[in-house]
Structure 1
Amino acid sequence: MLVDSPPEPRAETAPVPPTHRAIRAVGLLASVVVLVLVALASIAIGAKGLSSAQVWHGLFHDSGTYADVVVDDRLSRTVLGLLVGAALGLSGAVLQALTRNPLADPGLLGINAGASAAVVTAITFLGVTSLSGYVWFAFLGAATVGALVWFLGGSRGATPVRLALAGTAISAALYGYLQAVMITDDAALGTMRFWTVGSLGSATDATITQVVPFLVAGTVLALALARPLNALAMGDDTARALGANLHRTRALSMAAATVLCGAATAACGPIVFVGLMVPHTVRSFTGPDLRWILPYATVLSPVLLLGADVIGRVVARPAELQVGIVTAVIGGPVFILLVRRRRTAQL
Structure 2
Amino acid sequence: PGQFIHVGGDEAVKDQWKASARVHERMRELGVASEDALQGYFTHRMGEYLRAHGRRLVGWDEILKGGVPPDAAVMSWRGVQGAIAAAAAGHDAVLSPDPTLYLDSRQGRSPSEPPGRGTVETLADVYHFDPLPGPLAGDQAHVLGLQGNLWTEHVRTEERAAYMTWPRAAALAEVGWSPPGRLDWSDFTLRLPAELRRLKSLGVHYSDDVFAPPRSVGPHDRHMSQDLKTCTGKLVLSLEDDAPIEGARAVFLIDIMNPCWMLPAAELSPTSRLTVAVGQVPFNFQIGKDIEAIKLDPPRTAAGELEVRLDSCDGDPVAVLPLAPAADNDAVTELPPVSVPGAPGAHDLCFRFTQRTLDPTWAIDWVQLSP
TM-score exceeds 0.5: no
Which structure shows the bigger proportion of residues in helix conformation?
1
Q: TM-score, normalised by structure 1?
A: 0.24
Q: Choose 1 or 2 for highest CA Rg.
A: 2
| Larger RCO (CA under 8 A, 6+ residues apart) | 1
Q: TM-score, normalised by structure 2?
A: 0.22
Which structure shows the bigger proportion of residues in strand conformation?
2
